Amino acid sequence: MNEELKKTGTTTVGIACKDGVVLATERRATMGTLIAHKSTQKLFEIDRHLGMTTAGLVGDAQILVRYMIAESNLYRLRFTRPISLKASSTMLSNILASNRYIPYWVQLILGGVDSDGSHVYSLDAAGGSIADEYVTTGSGSPYVYGVLEDHYQGEMSTKDGADLAIRGIHAAMKRDSASGEGIDVAIIDKDGFRVLSEKEVQDRIKKMKLKA
């Protein structure tokens, strides 16, 4: 990995909760010390029960999102049921591993719900796939992990999980120069994939009394 790739940064987080999954990202895209974009989408709906966050090269991430949306739709048409999280993570892992000599420079979080419950997977550029209760990626992830280790509780609700994700991203934005410009949050549960409005996010920040 060259120096420019090492300098790319972002912050994303995924939390598995008792009633669903929370995914969250900030919006800043950087090129070295340059803030290249201030409203970058890093949180994507793959299917009604499945979402993904992206960190790394934007072009690579967008290609992989398109692959996953297409493959998930094809699976639903072919088998008349949604793809499981394990199968989806395996498929994405295989796509990443197949480009080993010209890798996709990304860190991804795949999260959602299926008949086995709530799941979050972390995937790396080499195709590694690891399931966990929570995971965070990008240059701001050390700050988020500090928040998660301190505040995460097993079997927490998506309401509390969304607050925790916001708290973690907010902490990263205060210390990581590659993270900023606002927070996107999605909740995935039995009712589907829902992105919180800007007002909902700001109301939660005010309720938690997080400093600007």
Active-site residues: which are they? 10
Taking CA 89 as the corner, what is the angle to CA 51 and CA 194, rounded to the nearest 5 degrees? Answer: 10
Which token pair is 14? 């995924």
- Among the listed residues 37, 90, 21, 31, the one whose alpha carbon sits nearest the alpha carbon of residue 56: 31
Cβ burial of 50 (10 Å; 0-12, 13-18, 19+) is: buried
Quote the CA–CA distance of 152 and 172 in Å, as a whole number. 16
C-alpha distance from residue 158 to each of 15, 20, 145, 162 (Å)? 9, 6, 18, 6
Which token pair is 29? 């895209």
Eight-state DSSP code of residue 84:
P
Length of the chain (residues): 212
